[in-house]
Amino acid sequence: MSTAEFKLLFSGPMGAGKTTAINAISDQKVVSTDVANTDLGEFNKATTTAALDYGYIDLGTGSGVRLYGTPGQERFRFMWPILANNAAGIIVLLNGDHPQLLEHLDLYVEAFWKGGDLPMLIGIGRLAPEMESEVLMQVMQRLEQKQYSAPVLAVDVRQKEDVLMMVDTLLCLVEANEMGAVPL
């Protein structure tokens, strides 16, 4: 019976759905550091993550996935490298209808890229069906321009199946990275 623990990080701007995604798939009550949102100009929601979110997926046989969510506000950026320490991979969640989508993509990918050593996946939520293809193409083109390679998926972070699809895909990238496979 083999055991393995994986640490996965969810990052992205405020309102992208990190806390919601972790809540959708965690097998235990999520530890959350939500506080009253005092930055309503950035995103109009009641609370925001100040330090981290933490959840866990039990894979059976003593194996599991530890899920960490970063705060989305740049003023809490000092937490990002702390939470990224020893992460096996990262999911960058973005709000597909945000006017600064590509700027957010640049900020979060550049913050965690580390020369491509950390497997990364981009999840884009809040996409209107008629805009999905266009937005996904813009994000993929921006990644290519910056010479980053990461899968890009349209997701609804409220749907357990969508979030599990991101985690499964990222774990495949982690496994390929550990086996020395050529990155995407």
Q: Exposed, middle or buried, 66 (CB in 10 Å: 0-12/13-18/19+)?
A: middle
What's the pTM value of the predicted model, to 2 decimals? 0.88
Task: Give CATH superfamily name and number for 5-178.
Answer: P-loop containing nucleotide triphosphate hydrolases (3.40.50.300)
The mean pLDDT of 23-39, rounded to a whole number, is 81
Say how many Å lie between the first and final Cα of the chain, rounded. Answer: 31
Distance CA 85, CA 62 (A): 22
Predicted local confidence at residue 1, as pLDDT: 47
Eight-class DSSP state of 46 = S
Distance CA 129, CA 155 (A): 11
With a cut of 50, say whether residue 184 has pLDDT above it.
Answer: no
The mean pLDDT of 22-30, rounded to a whole number, is 94
Name the residue with higher pLDDT: 106 or 115.
106
